[in-house]
Every structure is written in structure tokens, then in C-alpha cells.
Structure 1
Amino acid sequence: MTSRSTPSSTYRLQMRPEFGFRDAEQVVSYLGALGIGAVYVSPVLDATPGSTHGYDVTDPSRARPELGGEEGRLALADAVRAEGMGLVVDIVPNHMSVEVPSANPWWWSVLRDGSASPYAHHFDIDWSRERILVPVLGSADDLAALTVEGDELVYYDHRFPVSGSTEGTPQEVHDRQHYELVDWRRGNAELSYRRFFDITTLAAVTVERPEVFDDVHREVLRWVGDGDVTGLRVDHPDGLADPTAYVRRLREAAPDAWIVIEKILHPGEALPGSWPVEGTTGYDALGDVSGVLLDPAGEAAFTQLAARLGVPTDYAAVEEEARRLVTDSILVAEVRRIAALLQDVEVEAARAAVAETMIAFGVYRSYLPEVADEWAAAIVRATARRPDLGEALAALDEQVRADPAGELATRIQQTSGMVVAKGTEDTTFYRFTRFAALNEVGGSPDRWGVGVDEFHRLAAVRDAGSPATMTTLTTHDTKRSEDTRARMAVLAEVADEFAELVTDWHDRCGIDEPSLDLLAWQTLVGASPISDERLSDYLLKAAKEAKLRTTWTEPDEEFEQTVVSWPARVRAELGEEVDAFVKRITPAGWSNSLSAKLLQLAGPGVPDVYQGTELWDFSLVDPDNRREVDYDLRRELLDRFGEGLVPEIDRSGAAKMLVVHRVLTLRRDRPELFRGYTPLRADGPAAEHAVAFARSDDLVAVATRLPIGLERRGGWGTTSVPLPEGRWTDVITGAQVEGGDTALADVLDRYPVALLVKEGVSS
């Protein structure tokens, strides 16, 4: 579907106390001049004090004061409207933050009054339990540290409400409350409320209840009704009890808004057809674009390198092990709660069957009864893996299918996404590091790229079925930015050379954990130049996420110190060698970056530009990707484009910004040129190095792939691309070519990309 509020493009701004509504307001005119159709902001409802991302909402009834509050929000909305742009807001329906109880009035009420609170059923709490477990203690013995101050229980910096008398010892006061403070280990095993993934400070909200939906969305929907907000991005729908009912209710409440959902589609998966939304937030397009630029010839060399270094090469085995770690050690409370709903099955068999089924999911979750294929496939895979659980799995299957809207079916579907996300994205992707550029949200690291024909097929499907879906190359959740990924893609073209270098570097300066070691070398090269501090922070996070030598909860300090000191050690011992290699592959990385950007911006869907990535941006996973953006520099370059500057492709990144500016301005001003999708096939000796398509009779996009191979071949030679007769102008550089079998050497004379508009069509 396509809403009348569908923007021509979006630009993502990460709101935080250091970059609030007033700061966003200051960049609106720049974004309009850049060609952006809508400003797209991270969550702006009140959140945990000091939050740098806003997904930890504490009060959905007001704009966040730390960002500038209602006054700032209205000023931003007015500025966006005056520029003729839309405003898209990220919303979080699945959970709320309970990290600082006093900041969340609903949670404070629940802790104080228990099941008598008017918000008792706003959270997904197991009220059959005597008390709400709150995992905040360092150890069970820490209750001795409790004090009473006024009508609050205090544990260091944590404060909790007291219901009733404060007489007696702090321990006695605590024992009379509706909550029980426990340590994190007991919380993992016995938690009495549903959380977001394994984050106990994010408590799940029951938006499937109409009154809760209204309370959660009332303020944001008021903004939509007032015309201040034109689009909504929905965070994590897979955690909801009934995503289908949710998106239908949201559509009814915001019939004219552009709505996209953060649904992670695995290769081959599609959105349920009944969802009245424009599409996803674009990870599927990211995988297609990155995949078509990857050289399939590099797979064997990287597999051999991984094996030589001791890095696992059996992806399925690594993924199964990581998911089992999640079900057996991290989400124990969730597995137990689901298993208790399975009737007539022995307790341990029920727990094992539930865990095995979620481990076996090929996608995040099933959507019963509308989409039953994945549920059936998961049961089959689980049964094949654990035939000893055959009876328990059969009972689980039967009971889930008998009541697909019941609590058993609902909870296992909600939780499967947690197992997949934590087990695959947040664990496997840091253990299976054969080629890290493939380790991306929604991707499959064992699926080496996408062929040109498959890329065209997927783009045509997107154009026909979801032309208003968002497309992206970088988000706040990607494991690395688009430019880092684009340079890493070059490594597949020089796989043998890189493998030889890494083998030598590893022998001289390796990290004593194979998966992290191979990830480190790829990251060092892909994100260069990078400070020691940034690289240390990234590697430390990667090591903790891998959960092999250290973890967030049980750190190995000696190993972590080795990781933290590694960047400085490498710089001192191998710096010149690494820099020389990076210098050689950097131009090819720039080519890949420009090609990826053109394929995204000119292709089907609504392209999003993540903050700052209109210039080169070699960021890594959050929080690295939330660094400050220099908008003064970008404004200066934009002014120079207006004066006729067509920059060289160099370290400044100005060429990328020119591509973004020219393509998005054309999309905004001439949307009729971007309707339809027709593959164009190059002909000649270098045909495999071109990706070209027409969006209409008057618009053609051409991009370069595998630039190292193209250079080895000696360039385009006689390779041509078929253009309809007439004169065509590249809106990026201003160069002109004649139609017919047009030489790619002419089309791509200045840049490795071109967006051609037929003469007589105003640009």
C-alpha cells in the first residue's frame, strides 16, 4: 500500500539530550536543501534520564523534557512543515523502561500497589506469583545494604516505593512490599514479568489490551491528528502478542500516516499480506544491495582463512550452539513460563521441547494462524534434532495449533524472536566471523552475496508489492555502517592477498581468541582510520557479545585488558603495513559505497539516509554510530554544489554527498520518474561489472560492481548498456551521452555511478 503521506525519502536523526528538538530544528533547512522528503527521528517520548537513544520510554504521555519538551517538539514540527517536509517518529509499543522506577509513573504505581494498581495489567506480569521480582541486587546478601528514606526503600542509587508502614528494619519493610529485590542470576531464572530480550530493565507492555494501546499511543496519535507527524516507524513488532491486530488498530487510528515496521525479514521471507502498512524499515533491501556488490569468488579463500585460524566455519552449528546458550542460560525464566502452559507433558520435557522449537526457527517468529509454514518447519526441524522429544514436541504442536490465539501459542511466538535475535544477531554474528560484512541484521552469514539477476528480481518484487517500503544501508542497529561494509566488500576481491596478510599479522600480533581475532583484522581494515579508543570499545563489546572468553555479567578482566590494548599494539608493530594495504583498497571501497548508495536511492522504496552518512562514515555498531555529525561542513559543501562543484572522489566524501543530493532532489521533484522497474543488461567483456535498471522510460541508473576485477580487466573496453534513442544527461555530474548501445566507458567516465535522465525531461 502507499499512503498519501509517503515521503520521497527520509533522514534519520538520533535524538539525545545533547541533540534535542532545537538542534534538530537547526538542521531542517539543510535537509530540505539536500533533497530529503521527511525528517525521521528516534523515539522522542519521555525516557530514562540521560538516555542516548530513547528506546527506554518511561512516560508515553509527554514529549521528552530532556529534548526540549512540548515547546521544542512543536517548534520542530513547525520548522519541518514550513520546509514542505514530513516528520516521521519512531515509536516503541513493546516495552517501557523500569530502570529508574520513579521516572516511570506506571511502574512506580505497580511496585507500590501491586495488582491493585490501575496499571497492574499495563505490563505483562505473572500475577499468579506472590511478588514481582526486581533483579537489581549484586548478590542475594546485598539486602543488608537496604535503607529506608521517607516512604522509599533505597539500595545505593536505586529507589523504590514503600506501601504501608515503614516501621521495622529495612529488610522487614522490604518483605512486606509487592516486589522482591533479587540478584540478576535469580532474575534470569525466575523473572515474573516479560522483558525485552534479556534486558530486565525493559518491561513488556500489553498493548494487545485496548485500554493499554490507547494509553501508550494517545500522545503520539494526537501529534498525528494535529498534522505534526506524518509517519510512524514501529519498533520491534515481533515482541507483541498479536502483531496483526496491533498494526490494524494502529492503521485505524492513523489512516493517513505512512507506517513502516521494524520487521526483520530473513532471505525469502515476506510480510504477512494482511498487515496494512507500507512495509519494513529496510534491512531486506540492505542485504540485496550489499550482496550484489560482493564477489562470489572470495568465499573459498575466506573459509580457508577462518579454518586456518581456528574460527568455526559450520554456520548452522555455531548458530544452534548460540541459541541453545540463550534458551538454557539467559532466557530461562521465559522458557519456564511457556513450558508451564503445556498440558500433560512432564516438566523437563516441556521445557526442552519449548527451547528446541525456538532454537529451530528459521525466521524471527511465526504468525499463527495466518502464516503457519514456519511453525510447521520449526517443529519438523526440532523433532529431527531431538527425536527423544517427539511426544512432547507433538503435544506442543497440537496444543499451539488448537488455539493459535491462546497464551501458549502467543508466548512462544513472542519469545522465539528473542531467541533468534539474542542467539543469532547478538551472539552468532560475533562468533561466526568468517566474513563479517555479511553479519548484518536480517542477513545470513552463510549466504555469500546476491547475483545480479536475483538482485533485479528482488527489486522488481519490491516495486510491485511494496513500493512505499523503507530501504536503508545504515541504521542505529546495523553492525557497521554502509561505508565500512562497502570497503570490507573489497576484501572478497583480494581474498587471497588479505588471507596471506592476516595469517602473517595474526602470527605476529593476534588476539588469543580466533573469532575475535579475525573480526578484529577485518574491522581494523574496514573502519580505518579509526582511533585506538573507538576500536578498543568495539572489540570489547564484540568479545562480550560473543560470550566465549568474557561476558557482560561475568567479565574476564585479564582477557579484556588484552583486547583493550590490542589496537595500540597493532599500530606500533604493524601500523605501516596495515595503512599501506588500506590505502590500496580504499578507492575500490569508495566505488562500492557510491554504487550501493545509488542502488538504494534510485531503487524501489523510500530511501533512508542515516545521520551523517551523506559523507563517508566508517562507523561501527552502537554507540559508535551515534557520534556527533558536523552539519556546518555539510552545509558548506551543499552551497558549493549549488555553485557547480562536481568533486573528485577522494577522502572528503563530497562525491557521495553530491550523489545523495542530486538523486534525492530528483526523487522529490519528479516522483513520476521513479515508478516501475526494468532490468537493463550490459553487453560486452565487462558486463558482469555493471548493475543497471530503468525506473521509467526516461530514467536509468547505472552502477559499478567488483571494481578491483574491472581494473584488472583494463576497464570497460567495448562494454555497453542499452539506452532508448535520444540524448541523456547524468543528473549527478551533468555529463551527456547518446542513446543506443551506449559505451559504459562514456556513461561512467567521471564517477562509477550515473543517473541518466532523457533529454526533454526536466530535472
Structure 2
Amino acid sequence: MSGGITGESGVEALATALFGRVRQMVLGSPTPLATYRVQLHKGFTFDDARKAVPYLSRLGVSDLYCSPYLKASPGSTHGYDCVDHKQLNPEVGTAAQHEALCTALREHGLGQVLDVVPNHMGIDAFNPLWFDVLENGPASVYARFFDIDWSPVKDELEGKVLLPVLGDQYGVVLEKGELKLGFLEGAFVVHYYDRLLPVAPRQYARVLERNLDVLEAKLGAEHSHFIELHSILTAIRHLPERTEIQRAQVVERNREKEVIKRRLAALATASPEMSAHIAANVEAINGTPGQPRSFDELDQILQEGSYRLAQWRVAGEEINYRRFFDINGLAAIRMEDPEVFAEAHQRIFEWLRKGQVTGLRIDHPDGLYDPTAYFLHLQERYFLERARALFDAEQDTRAEQWPEVEARLRERWREEAEAKVDSPLRRALFVSVEKIQGGRERIPDSWAVHGTTGYRFANAVGGIFVKPDAEGAMTETYHRFIGEAPDFDELVYEKKRLILRDFMSSELNMLAHRLNRISEMNRRTRDFTLNSLRRALAEFIALFPVYRTYVDDTQAGLDERDVRYIKDTLRHAKARNATLNVTIFDFLGDVLLRRYPDHLGEHERAEMLAFAMKMQQLTGPVMAKGLEDTTFYVYHRFCALNEVGGEPEHFGTTDAIFHERNLERAIHWPASMLTTSTHDTKRSEDVRARLHVLSELPEAWRERVEFWSSLTRAYRAEMPEGPAPSLNDEYLFYQTVVGAWPMGERLSSGELEEFRGRIREYMLKAIKEAKVRTSWTNPDKDYEEGVARYVDACLDEERSRGFLEDLRTFKRRIERAGQHNALGQLLLKVMSPGVVDTYQGCELWDLSLVDPDNRRPVDYGLRERLLSSLDQEAYRGRPGLCAQLVEHMDDGRIKLFVLAEGLRLRQRYPVLFRQGGYRALHLRGPRADAAVAFAREHEQSLVIAIAPRYTLSALESPGGLASAYEETSVELPASYASMTFRDVFTGQQVRPGRHGEGAVLPLAPLLVGFPLVLLERSDG
């Protein structure tokens, strides 16, 4: 490139050259092979992560995968409550420490995938954007950032934000003196315990003018300080109104209010009399408890502001800002606005430009107004940022040329990428999305992403270890124990209705109000009442079978799957609502399916499209809250299946479906992530793997549950509403302790006490999430205490010796088979098409439950020492090491060994695992259904993975695992017969035998030395 080139043609030439270079650079960047997820917070910082990098590199990880680390609310353990997109979280580390981590990753050849939260922000006092909105309302420069309905159904909220933060009713809180006016650095604020709220700037005059004559008498009318106060009051009166939304007026208000604060702070500092005047007025306005009228002035100041304080309980019905699910402290942001996008991604693109971050994980994309446009914007911005980095590095380019160059680069990028779904530029930046897929729901083809974070895979790979013929017995045991037969689909419907009624009614009200306005546009629909429209919307959302659709205006037609979901739901809604005018559902269908009447103008059509897109933002949260966060804590037939993205109504996964999904991923989404545990999973991969064994002995499980119930009956508390715990919660308790009981024979008293505490806290969370006998919003302390006492009594060595002994005996019986399930699950994950993800600590046995249990500290020093020891022992002799690992499975080293060998195999064959084909392999013989096998192929590279399943009967047979697989073999293509393979774990050389026109691989000899089979071609 030459900086001497000027004029239109020179810029065009510069842009063309730059486009080619950047295109080649970004398309040459490989996708991750294996990620390792860490949760960053004040207990695990950038420095802690940096120290773990050498270990992760030796483990075989290609990318560190970090939780969000932009500035979050103080004490946040997850980072999803970002309060400032421009700053690092100070609790995680400084810019220098972040730089050191990035440098360490680069030196070890690792990339970094960063979790990004585009849907919402934390809105405590540490969020300057939200604070400004509360201070200035619609006139805030950040009003457009948040998804706020400034004209909601309730007239009293016109131009205001409902702020449901009070512990009691507003009047009670006010008259107790819990709301206190204060003066801080030139600004008036209201303190509510540790929460800080702004006072509307125009209300400063009300405080300052109080007893003004007294101040004048002290200072004199001509005193410079008194004159300055009058000047400030004049400035306050001339501030543009808080309802002003014209850009010039908004900018003026923002500028002048800050000038007023600076002047007032300076005046109070310079004048003791002024400081005393302000302090006395503040004290008087704060009122006196016991004298209700003394709070009138403070009440008036608050009423004139841009927010309406309210008790937290009213949020579900009247809140007028979109939230993340039903969490009042997380407000949704309007990522569809280019200004919001730029603000939220400024630091992230800075790190991408420098190569410090190499990929993104996008949290909750279903909450976005237009996910398709968002992902395209990400990819476009990434391309332009990389181009800017090259441009700046060239010494012969001039900064003033960049805007023109950028415009041409953007045009070229859009020509090549935006209109072509198959363009590689659409996926230049690695992007993984936290998309939960219900049923046969797929990622839209138009998304410029590499795939999902892997929930669907987690459920599929775990499900193949569930024995399908146990479904009837397990269902009967559950129904008989609890005394009823819940229907899963009906339960989901009821819980979604519950969420809409009690937790997200305000979001439903806003949608209904918007739909009502649309109905008024047409004389044929104007007679639909607001109430009937609301009922129809609630019914549609409760019956909707997936998380959301993706209707927008980018395509001439709609996605066929979206059309089918909408039409099927409307049909079911009509069938269930005989008393509701069915034409309302037809009207709703017309709006959602873009069937607009011919006479409608562009404005009306835009309103209808906007409604459809807004409704899509609600169906996902309602599904998530109703299914994952409620039904999964109520429907306990087989808790191992109650997982994020899971379908507990289906009893496990067939190997055919598992292979079908792997093949589809290999073809269409080869860089989609593969996970088995995450920070969001309800139970860790190893807990689920152990519970899967219950499907191999359903009768024994029934007997144990009935026996345990008889042993612990005395610990249940009898209450008018029923026992504590309920039979349903008791059934959950048994599965929980069986699944999470630590490995090994016995626990010390201290270990048992710790375990008891973990189970108690889990059960308390579970019963609150269930929302049956207690909840987070309406806690029943008696029930909670009854459940806590029950857990403590059952897990007390002195009081429940018989129960604990029988529980331990049963746990020990299924433990080894559970370990085999976990290892098989791990092998299949590591070899499947996609990016292998390991959640922190799960390279050893991890028997964690839902958060915060799965956020406990991880001992990386121990893991590093164990990995070094494994490498040394493998060097001395793999067969001996494998025998030792099998003998001492409880210590978890065998899991670390399987993971490390699998990840290192991926590193040896990166092209195979990024681009290779997938071939399902079939078995023959007496245990043909008791193993899953497949091959990965690319040119001369070939890998075969075989994982036994349903191993309990094999382990309990006289000859053990290998003997049970005598006469069982894997069928291979004929071309494999001439190949030689190396067993990755044992080092053994393996040659398939010929069988008819094909090849065959007997399983028993391969399972003698190790319980898994992983073969790499060694002669190619």
C-alpha cells in the first residue's frame, strides 16, 4: 500500500488491497479444537487463570473459554450483570493483569473465547447509564439504550420507569424514614439502605429554595455566594424537561445538569453558610417517623422524578422495562440500535483487534430483537477492526483516509457476505451461541455463527446411556411413590401459564397493549377487547413448543419451521379455548406470519412486524422459566434427564438419533461446541452418568426407594398442607444423594457434614424453584425448615445409620457402572464432530449440583501434578498405567487420562477433527446394543471410538467387562481390513479381521486392558 496515492482511485486501490489481505488473514484463522471454561470472579482472577495456562496447554486445550469479565456488580460470581461495558471488572484484575493473561495464552499457543452478554445489563447504582436514565427519564442520553415502555398501560407511569426495589409498600417505607435525601458532590440523591437513587435535577430547586429568606438574612442579598445560588436556581428552571426527546434538547439538558452540579458542589465547599443551608433543608425534608405529614415534601420530590418507587412484589405485573427473564436487577438493552452495539462492544473489539480474544460465546441470543442482524454486525465489525489494525500498522497510510477506506471495505464485505449465506466471511470470527433447541428446532441458516454451546449434544450423549426398556418401570415407580401421574406436556403448559401470570405479567401486558393498538387500525379487528387479546396471547405463548421463532423482514418468505410452529400453536390454542373468539387467533396469526391486509400503509405494517419481533423476545424467557426453572424441579421421574436443553418426556436417546445429529453437525456445523457440564447445568456430567445406571436396575431402585422412605418417615414434618418434604420432593432427595454422594467407601465426619450442607442448600433451592409449596417470591419458612430438618436427619450418622448404610451399599453397587458411563460419555464427546468443551474442574470426577455448588474452587495444582505423573507413567509403560487406573478408578485419574489423550489426539490430527467425515459403526453379537461406535475419517487419517454402555450387568458378571463382550464385535468397512491401528490408551497394535465382504473388530480383546477403545490409524 502506498500513502502517496490520493483521490478517489487511490482510496479505492487502497481499500481493494486491504480487503484482500484481511480476507486472507481472517479466513486463515482456525476454529478452536478444544476449549476449557473458567468462571472468573474475585476468588479466581486473571492471575489465577494465567497460572493455569501451562497446565491447560499440556492438557491439550486449544482455547481458554472465559466467563464475562467486563465490569459487573460488586461481588458478582458470574459476570452476567455487567454495569459498564468500557471497563474491566476490577474484582477480576487490572488491565496489566489482563494483558499478562493474554500474553501467557499467546506464548503457549492458546486462543481465548470470551463470553459476551448482549441482551442485558445489571442496573444497580454502579451502572452510570441506568443511573442517568433514572435521573432524566426519556430525556436521558441513554434512554434509547434500555428497552423501556415510556407509555405503558398504567397512566401513572407515563414517562417513568417503575423501580420495584422496596421491601414494603412505598408509603410504609417512606414514613419509616427508610428513604433518605442526601447531598453528594453537588447532586441530590436518595439513599435506600445501600442503594443510591438520583433526584430529578429540576427538583434541586425545591430543596435549595426552602428557607431561602433565612439564608438571605445571614448572607445578604448582594453576597457573591447568594447571587451564585440564584444563578444556579435560574439555570435549574431553564433545564429542558425530562420528557424532552429532541436530540438538541437532550444534549443541552445533559450538559447543563452537570454544570449545575459542579457549580453547586463548588458553592457548598466555598460557603459554610450554604453548606449548612443545604444540610438543614435535607434534614427537614427527610421527615420524622411517626409524623406522616413530615414526609410530604420528600414524597413530592420523588413523584416529580423519572422513576416510581414500588415494592418488589409489583414487578411481575407493572414493570415497564424488559428484563432478563424475571430478574428485576437485569434490564434488557436495545442491541438493535447501532449506538448501543458500539457502546457494548467497544472493549471487546479492541481485544479482537489485538488478537487477545480470538472467539466469542454469545449469551442468550434469543433475547435479542433481531439475532440475525446482530450476528452479521458482529462479523462485519470484526472484519473492519482487523482491517483497521493493518491500516494503522502501515507507515505510508494517513489517518484521514480511514473513513473513506472503511466505507469501501464495508461495501465490499456486504457484497460478499451479507447477501450470501454460504460466504466464509460470514463466519470469519468464531462465534458460538447459547441457543437452546427444543424438539427438532435448529439454528437458523442465516445466522453468521459456528454453532451452539452444546446443550443439545450434552443431552444426546448422556441419553444413549439410558436403557430405554426401563421407561415403564421407572414411570410406574415414580407415579406410585408420589401418588399421582403427572403429564409432562401438561405440566409445562401449566408452569408457563404460572410464569406469565405471576412473574412476567408485565411483559404480557405490554405486548397485549401493543396488539390492541394494532387491532384498532382495522375496523374488522377493532372490537377485540384488550382483555381478550391478552388471554389469546397468554394461551399462544403457553402452548408454543420451542423457545422462539425468527420472523423479520430480511427475507421475502418466512422459514417453513417458524410457520409450522406458529400454525400448530394457533390450532392447539383454538382447540383449548372454546369460549374465546377464535377469530382473535386468526388475527394474531396474520400479525405473526406477516399476512398484512392490502390497504395497510407502511407505518401499520411496520407496527405489526415490530410486534411480532417483540413477542419473539418473550416466548424464550417464558419457556426457560416455565420449563428449566420450574418444571424441571417438579417432574422427578428421572432427574438425570432434567437438563438444560433436555426433554425429560423422552426416556433417553437412541444411538440412531445420536449418530444422525453427529453427522448433521459434521456436515453443517463442524465447529459447534460439545459440552457435558456447564455453569448452568442442573447436575454435573458425572452425577448424571451415575444416575443413568438406575435405568439398568429399575426394580432394585423401586425397592430401595420404598425401603428408604420407610426408614426416614419419622423425619418428615406433618403440616396442614401436607408433609415436609412432599413425596415428590422426597423422591428428588433420594436421586440427589445417590447421584452426588462422593466417590469411595466412606466419608469422614467433616466430609459428611460438608456433603449434608451441600444437599440441604440444593434442596432448598430446588423447592423454591419448583414454586409448589414455597418460592423465592413467597417463601414458606415452615416448609423450608421442615425440608432442611429432614435432610439433616437423614444424613446424620447417629440418627440414620441404617438409611446411610443401605444408601452407601446401593451407591457402591452402581458407582463403577456410573464411572464407566462417565468415561464413555467423555470419549464420545472428545471424538465427535465439534469443539470439545471442558467445564472447570471436570477433568477429574465432579459430582456437583446446580450453581452455586458447581462454582466451588478448583485445585489446579493437584491437576497439574496428576497430569505430570500420568505422562511419566505412560512413558514407562501404558499397559501398566491403564491397569492401575482401572483398579483405582475412584481417584479420578482415569478421567484425566482419557481427556488428555483425546485432546492430544485432536491436536495431532487438527484437519481430521475440524473437517473430517463421520461414519456410524454397527455392532453384532449378544451385546450389540451395549456399545456405541463411530469413525472419523479424512483422507489417510482415521480414528475409531467405541464406548461400552449398560455395563452394570457386565461388571457384575463372573468374568467382568471384557468377558461379557465375548462374541460381540464392531462391523467395519472392507477397506479397514488392511489397516493397522494403535490403541491410543494402551499403545496396543490392532488389526481388524475380515468377515465376508467387510471387516470386523472383536471387542473383548480390546476391553481387557482398558474400558474404552480409541484407535488411530498407524499405517497411513
The answer to whether residue 471 in structure 2 is matched with residue 299 in structure 1 is yes
Q: How far apart are residue 372 of structure 1 and its match?
A: 2.5
Give the partner amino acid of 2:982. T
Where does residue 24 of structure 1 map in the other structure? 49
Give the partner amino acid of 2:769. E
* Alignment map for 1:344-383 (pairs within 5 Å): 344=526, 345-368=528-551, 369-370=558-559, 371-383=562-574
The answer to whether residue 787 in structure 2 is matched with residue 756 in structure 1 is no
CA contact (8 A) 2:160 2:307 kept: yes
The answer to whether residue 985 in structure 2 is matched with residue 732 in structure 1 is yes
* Alignment map for 1:677-716 (pairs within 5 Å): 677-696=918-937, 698-711=942-955, 715-716=964-965
CA contact (8 A) 2:40 2:68 kept: yes
CA contact (8 A) 1:677 1:694 kept: yes
Name the CA shift for 1:143/1:668 in 2 (closer, same or farther; >3 Å): farther
Q: How far apart are residue 515 of structure 1 and its match?
A: 2.3
Give the partner amino acid of 1:29. P
Q: Which moved more, 1:39-48 or 1:181-190?
A: 181-190
CA contact (8 A) 1:5 1:230 kept: no
Q: How far apart are residue 283 of structure 1 and its match?
A: 0.6
In 2, the alpha carbon distance for the partners of 1:636 and 1:18 equals: 22
Where does residue 258 of structure 1 map in the other structure? 430
In 2, the alpha carbon distance for the partners of 1:300 and 1:750 equals: 36
Name the CA shift for 1:3/1:272 in 2 (closer, same or farther; >3 Å): farther
The answer to whether residue 995 in structure 2 is matched with residue 745 in structure 1 is no
Q: How far apart are residue 239 of structure 1 and its match?
A: 0.7
Give the partner amino acid of 1:288. A
In 1, the alpha carbon distance for the partners of 2:772 and 2:1011 equals: 42
Select 1:211's aligned residue among 324, 332, 339.
339
* Alignment map for 1:406-485 (pairs within 5 Å): 406-485=609-688
* Alignment map for 1:228-267 (pairs within 5 Å): 228-255=356-383, 256-267=428-439
* Alignment map for 1:335-350 (pairs within 5 Å): 335-342=508-515, 343=519, 344=526, 345-350=528-533
Q: How far apart are residue 728 of structure 1 and its match?
A: 1.7
Task: Please give the per-residue CA displacement for 1:660-713, whole angstroms capped at 9, x wherever unaligned.
Answer: 001101102221333110011122111111111110152101101111143467
CA contact (8 A) 1:339 1:354 kept: yes
CA contact (8 A) 1:267 1:443 kept: no
Q: Which moved more, 1:583-592 or 1:251-260?
A: 251-260
The answer to whether residue 561 in structure 2 is matched with residue 388 in structure 1 is no
Greater per-residue helix proportion? 2
In 2, the alpha carbon distance for the partners of 1:146 and 1:568 equals: 41
* Alignment map for 1:124-273 (pairs within 5 Å): 124-128=147-151, 129-140=158-169, 141-144=172-175, 145-150=178-183, 151-164=188-201, 165=204, 167=207, 168=285, 169-255=297-383, 256-273=428-445
Where does residue 810 of structure 2 map in the other structure? 581
Where does residue 97 of structure 2 map in the other structure? 72
Select 2:68's aligned residue among 31, 39, 43.
43
In 2, the alpha carbon distance for the partners of 1:86 and 1:532 equals: 40
CA contact (8 A) 1:737 1:746 kept: no
Q: How far apart are residue 312 of structure 1 and its match?
A: 4.2
Give the 3-state SS of the residue equivalent to 1:434 in structure 2.
coil
Q: How far apart are residue 3 of structure 1 and its match?
A: 7.7
In 2, the alpha carbon distance for the partners of 1:392 and 1:63 equals: 49
Q: Which moved more, 1:452-461 or 1:520-529?
A: 452-461
* Alignment map for 1:593-604 (pairs within 5 Å): 593-604=822-833
CA contact (8 A) 2:693 2:817 kept: yes
Give the partner amino acid of 2:134. L
In 1, the alpha carbon distance for the partners of 2:115 and 2:821 equals: 30
In 2, the alpha carbon distance for the partners of 1:699 and 1:186 equals: 58
Task: Please give the per-residue CA displacement for 1:571-630, whole angstroms capped at 9, x wherever unaligned.
Answer: 232111101110111000000000000111111110100000000000111111110001
Where does residue 508 of structure 1 map in the other structure? 711
In 1, the alpha carbon distance for the partners of 2:55 and 2:593 equals: 53
Task: Please give the per-residue CA displacement for 1:297-354, whole angstroms capped at 9, x wherever unaligned.
Answer: 2211211111112254310121111111011111110010000112232111111111
CA contact (8 A) 2:313 2:777 kept: no
Q: Which moved more, 1:448-457 or 1:311-320?
A: 311-320
In 1, the alpha carbon distance for the partners of 2:891 and 2:861 equals: 14
CA contact (8 A) 1:721 1:744 kept: yes
In 1, the alpha carbon distance for the partners of 2:495 and 2:987 equals: 52
Give the 3-state SS of the residue equivalent to 1:66 in structure 2.
coil
Give the partner amino acid of 1:757. E
Where does residue 794 of structure 2 map in the other structure? 570
CA contact (8 A) 1:2 1:278 kept: no
Give the partner amino acid of 1:427. T
Where does residue 648 of structure 1 map in the other structure? 885
In 1, the alpha carbon distance for the partners of 2:822 and 2:345 equals: 38
Task: Please give the per-residue CA displacement for 1:25-60, whole angstroms capped at 9, x wherever unaligned.
Answer: 010110000000100000010000110000001001
Select 1:626's aligned residue among 833, 855, 860.
855
Name the CA shift for 1:604/1:3 in 2 (closer, same or farther; >3 Å): farther
Where does residue 212 of structure 2 map in the other structure? none
CA contact (8 A) 2:817 2:955 kept: no
Q: How far apart are residue 482 of structure 1 and its match?
A: 0.2
Give the partner amino acid of 2:593. R
Q: How far apart are residue 248 of structure 1 and its match?
A: 1.2
CA contact (8 A) 1:306 1:313 kept: no
Give the partner amino acid of 1:209. D
Provide the TM-score with structure 2 as the length reference. Answer: 0.73
In 2, the alpha carbon distance for the partners of 1:668 and 1:361 equals: 43
In 2, the alpha carbon distance for the partners of 1:509 and 1:2 equals: 62
CA contact (8 A) 1:433 1:515 kept: yes
In 2, the alpha carbon distance for the partners of 1:220 and 1:379 equals: 42
Q: Which moved more, 1:315-324 or 1:584-593?
A: 315-324
Q: How far apart are residue 2 of structure 1 and its match?
A: 8.9
Give the 3-state SS of the residue equivalent to 1:136 in structure 2.
strand
Q: How far apart are residue 757 of structure 1 and its match?
A: 0.9
Task: Please give the per-residue CA displacement for 1:541-579, whole angstroms capped at 9, x wherever unaligned.
Answer: 000000011000111111111222233211232111101
Provide structure 2 residue ranges, at least 5 long, that are not aligned to the other structure: 1-25, 152-157, 208-284, 286-296, 384-427, 520-525, 552-557, 595-604, 714-723, 743-753, 875-880, 958-962, 994-999
Where does residue 491 of structure 2 map in the other structure? 318
Give the 3-state SS of the residue equivalent to 1:61 in structure 2.
strand
Task: Please give the per-residue CA displacement for 1:411-435, whole angstroms capped at 9, x wherever unaligned.
Answer: 2110001110000100000111110
* Alignment map for 1:278-297 (pairs within 5 Å): 278-297=450-469
Q: How far apart are residue 738 of structure 1 and its match?
A: 2.1
Higher-Rg structure is 2
The answer to whether residue 132 in structure 2 is matched with residue 109 in structure 1 is yes
Select 1:721's aligned residue among 959, 970, 974.
970
Provide structure 1 residue ranges, at least 5 long, that are not aligned to the other structure: none
CA contact (8 A) 1:435 1:445 kept: yes
In 2, the alpha carbon distance for the partners of 1:198 and 1:292 equals: 34
CA contact (8 A) 2:918 2:935 kept: yes
In 2, the alpha carbon distance for the partners of 1:159 and 1:493 equals: 57
Q: Which moved more, 1:44-53 or 1:739-748?
A: 739-748
